[in-house]
């Protein structure tokens, strides 16, 4: 498939987010959030809502994070959720996350699927539970082996179809995090042309199923400089590269330039405010 770089994705918003996983302790997480919020505050163009930042810290940090982020354009997310309220020791109910101000929740991350044995049926239960609680499921999908964009798009499409149990109305309320398993934790992200090809093929399948315009963001060693090279992607899901909040700010600048229709070759500067 042929693509022209930097074309807008069907989604009208560009999402830029980051999960801290378990890398930061409680105090370090708060310090990181304060510095990341400074990066957001110095970019008042974010208030227009064309670029939407989100952060996903560890569970114990969520109450403090909700307080820090109050009144900012940053959405708060959670790294996982249970599949129901009730007698489930050690789980966290989506209803409680909603009480804390959580707006989106990661479900089906490759690490959860592999190391915690979360199968498609469990992912589907969690997606439905999060949606019932009014939280956007951030559904993580991706193929294990790279090299064939058509095969990768088929794998991802089937993961989405399974996660909503064929309910495409529900699918329309998801945000998709496309994270090729082989690219997670790698030194470099997947090739931009490959990612764009997979996402364009996936979008064609989703449109045929009745879920056009679904936000599809890329994750998997994502870092500054990647977003302007992608075609049809709705944003980036950052990892360790955003542990330096300045890198998060750089990606926000790239997203703001794209959202305003600036050519991607225009250099983004720290704190740059678009007119």
Indicate whether this model's pTM tops 0.85: yes
| Stretch (H or E) spanning 127 | helix 120-132
Q: What is the pLDDT of residue 239?
A: 87
Spatial neighbors of 179 by CB under 8 A, at least 6 apart, are 109, 110, 140, 141, 142, 218, 219, 220, 237
Closest CA to 173 of 181, 163, 183: 163
Q: What digits encode the pLDDT tens for the residues 146-175?
A: 889 999 999 999 999 999 999 999 999 999
Q: Residues for the chain: how many in total?
A: 275
Q: What is the pLDDT of residue 10?
A: 55
Helix, strand, coil in percent for the chain, rounding step 5: 45, 15, 45
Q: What digits encode the pLDDT tens for the residues 17-69?
A: 999 999 999 999 999 999 999 999 999 999 999 999 999 999 999 999 999 99
Rounded mean pLDDT of 186-191? 92
The bridge status of strand 14-19 relative to strand 51-56 is parallel
Q: Are 79 and 106 in contact (CB under 8 A)?
A: yes
Among the ranges given (36-50, 126-140, 230-244, 253-267), the one the predictor scored with the smallest mean pLDDT: 253-267
Q: What is the pLDDT of residue 119?
A: 97
Q: Are 9 and 44 in contact (CB under 8 A)?
A: no
Of 106, 109, 143, 161, the catalytic one is 109
Of 39, 118, 143, 179, the catalytic one is 179
Q: Are 146 and 184 in contact (CB under 8 A)?
A: no
Closest CA to 258 of 54, 38, 9, 42: 9
- Four-way CATH pick for 14-259: 3.90.550.10, 2.60.120.620, 3.20.20.70, 3.40.50.2300: 3.20.20.70
117 C-beta neighbours (distance < 10 Å), count:
8
Residue with more model confidence, 171 or 262: 171
Q: What digits encode the pLDDT tens for the residues 73-129?
A: 999 999 999 999 999 999 999 999 999 999 999 999 999 999 999 999 999 999 999
Q: What is the pLDDT of residue 11?
A: 55
User: Is residue 109 annotated as a catalytic residue, yes or no?
Assistant: yes
DSSP code per residue over 220-252: SS--TTSGGG-SS--EEEE-GGGGSHHHHHHHH
Which residues of 28-109 form beta strands (DSSP E)? 51-56, 75-78, 104-107
CA distance 224 to 249: 9
């Amino acid at each position: 498939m042929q693509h022209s770089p930097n074309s807008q994705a069907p989604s009208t918003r560009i999402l830029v987010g980051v999960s801290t996983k378990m890398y930061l302790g409680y105090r370090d997480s708060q310090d990181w959030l304060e510095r990341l919020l400074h990066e957001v505050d110095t970019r008042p163009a974010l208030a227009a809502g064309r670029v939407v930042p989100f952060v996903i810290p560890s569970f114990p940090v969520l109450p403090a994070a909700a307080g820090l982020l109050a009144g900012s354009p940053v959405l708060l997310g959670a790294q996982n959720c249970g599949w129901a309220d009730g007698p489930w020791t050690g789980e966290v109910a989506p209803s409680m996350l909603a009480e804390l101000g959580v707006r989106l929740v990661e479900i089906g991350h490759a690490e959860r699927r592999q190391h915690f044995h979360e199968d498609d049926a469990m992912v589907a239960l969690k997606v439905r539970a999060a949606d019932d609680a009014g939280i956007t499921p951030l559904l993580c999908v991706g193929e294990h082996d790279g090299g064939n964009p058509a095969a990768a798009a088929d794998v991802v499409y089937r993961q989405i179809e399974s996660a909503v149990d064929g309910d495409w109305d529900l699918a329309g309320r998801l945000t998709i995090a496309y994270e090729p398993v082989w690219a997670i934790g790698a030194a470099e992200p997947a090739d931009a042309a490959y990612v764009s090809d997979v996402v364009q093929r996936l979008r064609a399948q989703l449109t045929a199923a009745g879920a056009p315009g679904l936000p599809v963001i890329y994750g998997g060693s994502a870092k500054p400089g990647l977003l302007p090279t992608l075609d049809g992607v709705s944003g980036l899901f950052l990892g360790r590269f955003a542990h330096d909040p300045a890198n998060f700010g750089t990606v926000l600048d790239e997203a703001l330039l794209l959202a305003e229709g600036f050519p991607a070759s225009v250099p983004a500067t720290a704190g740059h405010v678009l007119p």
